[in-house]
Structures are given as C-alpha cells and as structure tokens.
Structure 1
Amino acid sequence: MADDTAVVWVRRDLRLHDNEALVDACAADAVLPVYVFDPREYGDRAFGGRDSFRFEKTGRHRARFRREAVADLRARLRERGSELVVRHERPEVVVPAVAEAVDADVVHVQTLPTPEEIAVENAVREQLRRLGVTPSRHWTHTLYHLNDLPVEYTDISDTYTTFRKSVENRATVREPLPDPDLSSAPVDAVGAGSIPSNADLGVEALDTESDDQGVLQFEGGETAGLARLDRYLFEEDRLREYKQTRNGLLGQGFSSKLSAWLNEGCLSPRRVERAVRRYERERVSNDSTYWLLFELVWRDFFQFQFAKHGTDFFRRGGIRGRDDIDWRDDDEQFERWAAGETGIPFVDAAMRELNATGYQSNRARQNAASFLANNLRIDWRRGAAYFETQLVDYDPASNYGNWAYIAGVGNDSRDRYFDILKQASTYDGAGEYVTHWIPELSDVPPEAVHEPWTLTEAEQAEYGVQLGVDYPAPMIDLEESYRKLR
C-alpha cells in the first residue's frame, strides 16, 4: 500500500533521470522534494583531527554551479507540476521539520560514502526516528550498485586493477531508471523558499571575465549535463578519439568534462554508460569508448574505498599509515603554490587556471599535486583541501583519493612523483598552455618557456621577461628536489 506523503531529501542527486529516491517516493500519493544548503559546507573551517589547519570549504565556482543545479532541478520539477523546497540551514533541522509539517510517512534520501556525509545523514535519520518517520536510503552515486559488488564493500581490493577486473567480470550495470511520474507536492504547508546567492552563503562572487578564459563554461544542472553528454558523444563525435586526446590542456573537446555534473549528481553514471553503449552500437567501439567507462570505474573505486576506509583517507599517513615521510608546513611556500607563483611555469599555469575557472585537466592536476606533495613535501592534505575549495567538479572521494595516491599514502604501493619538466615537454611542447595562463611568458620561445631560468639576462631582456620582476624565479631547485625522492 502506498504511503500517503513522502519527502525526498535531495543531496548530490540533483536530477530527475535515474533517481531511485524520487522514483520510489512517487509510490506515495504526495511527494515533496527538499534541498538544503548546509551552512557547514561554506565558509572558513578547521580540517579537523591531528595537524589540523583552516581552509574554505566551498569556493565560488562550485557554489555557483550548485546553485544553478538546484535552480535547474526546481525548474524541471515545476514543469511537471511539482516543486523543490529550498532552505539554507542544517539538514537535521530542516528535513525533520518539513516531514512533520506535511505529515510525511517516509523520507527518501541518497546515501553517500564519506564520513562527513554519513554523519549528516545519521543526524537526520535520528531526528526522523524521534518523529516516527521512516528514513529510506538509496545508493545512487556510482556506476555499479553497492549491492551488486562481487564481494562486500569492506572486502574489496585496495588495488584498482583488481577491483576493475572483478566488477567487469562478475557484476553488471543496472538499467537506468526512467524519469519519475511525479505526484502532487504539498508545498503550501512549508513554502518553497528561495535559492541563496553566493553572498548569502558567504562565498565570493564570480569574476566572469576570468571564467571566459576557461576550457568550458560549466553550467550547473541536469539540463546542461545532458546537453554536454550529447554534444561530446553525438553532436561532435569526439568519443572515438578520447584515449588519444584526454591529456589535452586547452579547448573544450579534448575530454568529456562530465565530472562536474557527475559529482553534483546532475548526471547519473549509468546514464553515461548507456550513452557510451549506444555510441558503440551506432558509431564505433574502440579503446577510446572503453576508456571513458574505465574512468567511470576509477570513480566508483574511490567511492567504495571511502566507504571501506572512512576517516583513514584524511590522515597524513593515509590508509597505508605511513609515518616515514617528513611532511612540512610552510605557509609561504604553500601560498606561492596556491597563487601560481612558484616560478615553475607548468605548475603555475595549472594553478592559475584552477583559481580563475575552477577546473584543471587531469594532467594539470597530477603535476600541480605532485609538485606540492613530492617536490615541496608540504602536507598533501592542505593541497587536497585547496582543491576542495576551488574545484567546480569536486568530489570528496575522487579528490582526496587521487591526492593520497600522488602523495604515496593511498592506493598504490609505489612512491608517485611526476617529472614536471618532462611532462611539460610531452604535453605542452609548444608552450601554448603555459602562455595562455602566463601571458608574461608569451614571447619566450617554446624551447625555453618551461625553463625560463635558463635564459641569460640578455635573452630575458629580448623576450620581455625579467625573472623576479615580471615572473618569479623558481622557488626551489627542481633537480635537487628529485634527488631527495630517489
């Protein structure tokens, strides 16, 4: 028998398609979706635990994207005769209050794997139980469902290749769910509420001119996410070359750039997988089409790893409990890295792109992270937290999992560091990426643009860049820093 009234607490599942929480809720006579901007997700806060530090939880790029995603979901619900209640308050206050006001029998909610997300969910569930309201949890954030893994998530391998082979050989991807047949929304009892601005959230406003320099305008919402998926795969037919182009640095088409929509839940990974399968049937099936699915499985891997290891991922020694690395806390060096003022052009270009747009390619992220964690040996968690602030496509499991991997404290038994000059030469041989983000180096020839410190004073004058004046001298001796790692 259907419940009379159901509330859906929307979290990082800001979509109608393939949304189990919404679909199941629509068995009720009335359904009211609710989204809550949790103030703890914004502003300055302590990282927590040993060797804590302060950082900004959510920066301007993701705050803007999230607000757009909420607005898009509200618009899509209204088109179908429903509504999205929006509040700026702690979820454990809002969700039970809304459930009580509409006399809800059940609250459907997406469950997520990281400790902070679990703690908030548990706080909400505790309050709901006190009211006699049933919480119903749904796992909706991964390609492979938690219940379909070949083993319990607590027993999955800590090595990606082993995990990937196990799910590819012994699990299947569920069919995406259709858009829900929405029931009436009893919004009059509580009021719809307004979507807060960046200022309301205590977040800096956007500089749209800087955003125009980026590879793509990341517009939040299911509508934009579905459009990007269709554009990349079918309109521009780029998936056939994904494996060859994915390490690009400039332009919107070198990779799918679906991560922002996936991480905020505007796109379902199962919807992406089905689109890839359709592309393989209608266009071509090759290494590139497989590689996009390969990346979705990487994303799954970190989600399940955080479900397994929890808070261990946020410790300096990571899940490996390493205590043999002498991590440093150097505020001046950290700030130079964060500002893109290290004097190492490939790193600085990556950080300036991140600050201006909220995005970096995977190649740029790996090099920027490796420089901080390996060349400088500054506490890797500070870098990961800075990325948490800045990234438009931040996901806690992917972000901290990848940083731990680069820092040598995560899912790899080897020490990981990047030869930044070799990487720069390989992926930005003509210096186009560097000069795009560091225009003061625009006249430096390609053979010197990644190592401007090799220029003589006369060459610096000729090319219009005086080190230490127009562009910083390198903050460290790169080769010496590598010798310490070998």
Structure 2
Amino acid sequence: MQQKQSKTSLVWFRNDLRINDNSSLLNAIRNSETVIAVYCFDPRHFEKDKFGFKKAQKFRAKFLIETISDLKLQLSNLGIPLYVFNDYPENCIANLEAQYKFDALYLQKEWTEEEYNVYKLVTAIWDDTFTVHQDYNQFLYHPEDLKFDIKNLPNVFTDFRKHVEKQSIIRTINEITNIKNKNNSIKNTTSVPSLKDLGFEDFTNHPNSAFPLKGGETEALKHLNNYFFESKKLGFYKKTRNGLIGKDFSSKFSPWLANGSLSAKTIYYRVKEFEAIHFKNQSTYWLIFELIWRDYFKYVSLKHGNKIFKIEGLLNKDYQWHTFEKDIQKWINGKTNEPFVNANMIELQKTGWMSNRGRQNVASYFAKTLKLDWRIGAAYFESMLIDYDVHSNYGNWLYVSGVGNDPRDRIFNVKLQAERYDSSGKFQRLWLQDTLF
C-alpha cells in the first residue's frame, strides 16, 4: 500500500543495521522528500543488570562500533546522514525532531520488554499527527504470511517448521537500487563513539578466536560470499557445524544476524543461488533449517511475551533453583569439575564466542547439573556473546533448562559429549593449556 508522502522522515536504526533488504529504510526513501537516520548507543545497554553483569561487554560493543561505522559510510553513499549519539534514544531523537521537524518515523518493530519500553519513551513526546511506521524486518517468514494466529504457534519446533515450509512463502529481497543524494546538503558532525567512550579499554582479538571477523554489512556480505561461493564450505555445513576450533566449522552468520547487519532472507536467497549454480544437499538445506529455528524463537517470544524471562518459563515448572555464588563464579571462570565445560567458558571469557555445541553443554551443566537459576546463565551469555539475540538466547536457555517448548526434561552428559566432539582433547588443551587429559 502506498504511504502518504512525508516531507522529512527519520529512520531509527536499532537491530536492523544494514542497507540491503531493509524495508524501513526503503519505505522511508520511497515516501519522503528528505530522509535522515539515527543510531543511539543507549547507555542502558552498558549498565549492569540485576545479576551484576554489564548488559553488553567489550566484545559486542566493539562489533557494534564496527557495524555502525560501516552503516554510516553506506548511508552516506546514498546521501543519507546517519546521526550517531552516545545517549538515550528518547533524548537524541527528541533533539533531532526539534531541529528537523520530521513528520514520520520509520523503524523495525520490536516487542520484547526493554526494546518496547524504549520505543514508548521515544514516541511519547509526539501527538497523533506524527506518523510511525513499524515493520517486522527480522524474520525469514514474515508474521503476516503465517497461516495461523500467533496464539496458535505450535509448541514443538518440528510442527512449526513443517507448517511454514509447506504453507508459507518467503518474501523477496527489498532492493535499494539507483537511489542516492536524497539530502546531501545536510551536514552531520556526529561521530561513532570509541570503546573508551562506552567504558571499555581497547583490545585486540585473541589469536585463537573462532570469530576473528569484523562487524558491519560489508564484512557480512564478504564473509557470505567466501563461505558460499569461494570456499564452498556451505556444501559441508551439516558435517562440520558441531566443530569447536577455527572460524570455518560453522557459518558464523549469527553476529550479523543478531544486530541485523545481515538479513535471514539474504542468506536464504544466496543459498538458493548456490544450489542453482553448484549443488543442493543436506548441508545447503540445513543452513535454512537453522534460520527457521531462529524464526521459531522469535515467534515464541512474540507469543509468550515476558514469560520467556520468568524463572518458571513457558511450562510454569516449579523447580528448585539455586543461586550459590561460589558455583556461579566457578562456572563463569572455567573452574568446575568438567574440563569440557571449563574450556568453553574460558573461550567465551577470552573471545566473546562459543560454539553451538559448547553453549548447549555449559547451559545444561549450569541449569541441570548445578541446578542454578537459569536466568543468571542467560544474563551472563547476554553480557558476553558477540552474537547475543534476545529471542534465541532466552529461547535456548528455556529449552535446555527444561522450562521451554520441549516437554522432555533432558540433560546433557558432558563427559560423553566431550568424548564425541573433542575425542582428542585438542579443544580442551587449547583453552586449558596446562590441564592433562
């Protein structure tokens, strides 16, 4: 549907930090005489939470700085200034509105509590004459294309997957082409903050990091092209995805997906391109399968709201959870009785990264073996992970802790997992150094 033409529109970037396949940006450009953009490094993201962890530690902060630097450059090539502030969004957007008197705001729709509360703070200053355009821009399968009401979301992932694969479509890419010089006359003197500005010391990546890559859409597309078309590692993804060492055992798209500098649809259609040019196999399908899992966790949070943050979870389970500080610190610092858990936790502490296999094991050990309040583990992951995504993080912790969608109360046998996925002990030696096996 054609939207009313606006004189001046603001695009508020949050977790959609890209140019390509960005419906908010595209609609603003199509329906506005002048477009400006803004990103706010919200101080709330770098404060301590109720468990004592910074909401975002240095690893994600650095990746975000790289991402915004790239976004600012990409937008400038379109003639769109990106105003960057180290301030609360409700403050910096109000100041921009006072300066430019924009009459429309474009942004990606978010629904989890903290993100929604900030949205309400930002929009509370305007009356009904101000138009807000929100769009779901983070899914593979758009909510409007589901053939069921969200309250009827299947409780089991397999049922959801089979339904959407059979009944729903994946929309085409939102292409931004031949659009530039929207408002080159606007001067933008704002700059991207440094790590020091955000309260961190500068650092270099650990030499053994499995994610030595940079933030931003440019890097994301470069990595995608390499993983798919140059190295063709996509063709072996299903066989290697449970690896533990190096940057090539898995796709590593999750950090860019998490902050929206790469869209799920972009990955999907490039997989289809790979299949058309080269070959189609279980591995090419499995990457799409993982994108559907990502969608599912977003729909779980859309359906259940704040229940994903409650200790009793989605199943209202009344387990006895502990908060023993000594056990929590041993887990965080890799000092438990399980070398495989310790190696993964030290990797996370030193790099901001952990493999999918590692995450499942350390989360299960935290919640099911130590019986510690799973929300503390989830909060620590939120703080440390480069690729933190609220939906996937809490969805996975619910799942592993026995209070999520899976009715089976499973527990990972860490010793057997270590024997299966690190039989030589190479990964454990890499991070534990002096420990003998």
Alignment of 1:190-339 (within 5 A): 191-202=188-199, 204-208=200-204, 211-323=206-318, 325-339=319-333
Is the Cα contact below 8 Å between 1:113 and 1:303 reproduced in 2? no
Q: Residues 183-237 of structure 1: CA distance to partner in whole angstroms, max 9, x if unpaired?
A: 5247847x441212222222x33532x5221113130100000111111111110
Bigger mean CA deviation after superposition, 406-415 or 74-83: 74-83
State the TM-score, normalized to the length of structure 2.
0.96
CA distance 1:111–1:98, shift in 2 (3 Å): same
Report the residue type matching 2:358 in the other structure: A
Q: Which residue of structure 1 lines up, in the alignment, with residue 37 of structure 2?
A: 33
Q: Distance in 1 between matches of 2:303 and 2:185?
A: 38
User: 1:166: Cα distance to partner?
Assistant: 1.1
Deviation per residue, 1:71-104 (Å, 9 max, x gap): 0000111233322101122212222331332121
Instruction: Determine the C-alpha separation between the residues in 2 that align with 1:159 and 1:60.
Output: 35
Q: What is the CA deviation profile of residues 314-336 of structure 1, one whole-angstrom value per residue up to 9, with x for unaligned ones?
A: 1111111111x110010011011
1:330-349 mapped onto 2 (5 Å cutoff): 330-349=324-343
Question: Would you say 1:44 and 2:48 are equivalent positions?
Answer: yes
Which letter maps to 1:14?
A: L
Are residue 110 (structure 1) and residue 108 (structure 2) matched? yes
Instruction: Give the match's secondary structure for 1:137.
Output: strand
CA–CA distance in structure 1, aligned partners of residues 195 and 112 of structure 2: 25
* Count of aligned positions: 432
- Preserved CA contact (<8 Å) 1:112 1:141: no
Contact residue 218 and residue 260 of structure 1 kept, 8 A: no
Match of 1:146? 143
Cα distance in 2 for partners of 1:162, 1:115 equals: 27
Verify the 8 A CA contact 1:367 1:420 in the aligned structure 2.
Answer: yes
Q: Give the Cα–Cα distance (whole angstroms) in 2 for the partners of residues 415 and 340 of structure 1.
A: 25
Q: Decide which of 166, 169, 178 is 2:166's aligned counterpart.
A: 169
Provide TM-score, normalisation by structure 1. Answer: 0.86
The secondary structure found in structure 2 opposite 1:30 is: strand
Matches of 1:151 and 1:185, distance apart in 2: 42
Q: Distance in 2 between matches of 1:182 and 1:156?
A: 41
Contact (CA 8 Å) 2:79, 2:184: kept in 1 or not?
Answer: no
Aligned with 1:109: secondary structure? strand
Partner deviation per Cα, 1:101-135 (whole Å, 9 max, x = no partner)? 212110101112312112212222222336x3211
Q: Structure 1 unaligned runs (5+)?
A: 47-52, 450-486
Task: Give SS of 2:375's match.
Answer: helix
Asked if the contact 1:176–1:271 (Cα under 8 Å) also holds between the matched residues in 2, the reply is yes
Q: Which amino acid aligns with 2:388?
A: Y
Q: 1:60 to 1:187 in 2, by over 3 A?
A: farther
* Contact 1:31 1:182 (C-alpha < 8 Å) held by counterparts: no
Q: Partner of 1:179 in structure 2? A: 176
Q: Distance in 2 between matches of 1:310 and 1:187?
A: 43
Which position in structure 2 is the counterpart of 1:378?
A: 372
In structure 2, how many angstroms separate the alpha carbons of the residues matched to 1:175 and 1:144?
Answer: 11
Shift of 1:156: 1.1
Alignment of 1:379-398 (within 5 A): 379-398=373-392
The answer (yes or no) to whether the contact 2:245–2:427 under 8 Å persists in 1 is yes
Among residues 131, 136, 157, which one is paired with 1:160 in the alignment? 157
Which residue is 2:56 aligned to?
A: 58
Preserved contact between residue 77 and residue 180 of structure 2 (Cα < 8 Å)? no
- 1:395-419 Cα offsets, whole Å, 9 max, x none, are 0010011011000001110112100
Describe the shift of the 1:407–1:197 C-alpha distance in structure 2 as closer, same or farther (beyond 3 A).
Answer: same
Tell me whether 1:19 sits opposite 2:19 in the alignment. Answer: no
1:465-476 to 2 correspondences below 5 Å: none
RMSD across aligned positions (CA):
1.5
- Paired residues for 1:127-142 under 5 Å: 127-129=125-127, 132-142=129-139
Question: In the alignment, is residue 424 of structure 1 matched against residue 418 of structure 2?
Answer: yes
Paired with 2:184 and 2:230, the residues of 1 have a C-alpha distance of 40
Stretches of structure 2 lacking an aligned partner (at least 5 in a row): none
Partners of 1:187 and 1:361 in 2: CA distance: 46
Matches of 2:416 and 2:309, distance apart in 1:
30
Amino acid at match of 2:44: R
Distance 1:183 1:133 in 2: 25
What's the secondary structure of 1:55's corresponding residue?
coil
Say whether 1:77 aligns with 2:71.
no
Q: Which amino acid aligns with 1:275?
A: R
Matches of 1:212 and 1:432 in 2, distance apart? 16
Q: Alignment partner of 2:6: what SS?
A: coil
5 Å matches for 1:347-358?
347-358=341-352
The question of whether the paired residues in 1 share the 8 Å contact of 2:257 and 2:264 is answered with yes
In the superposition, relative to structure 1, how do residues 39 and 417 fare at CA in structure 2: closer, same or farther (>3 Å)?
Answer: same
Q: What letter matches 1:414 in structure 2?
A: R
Shift of 1:152: 2.1
| Structure whose CA Rg is larger | 1
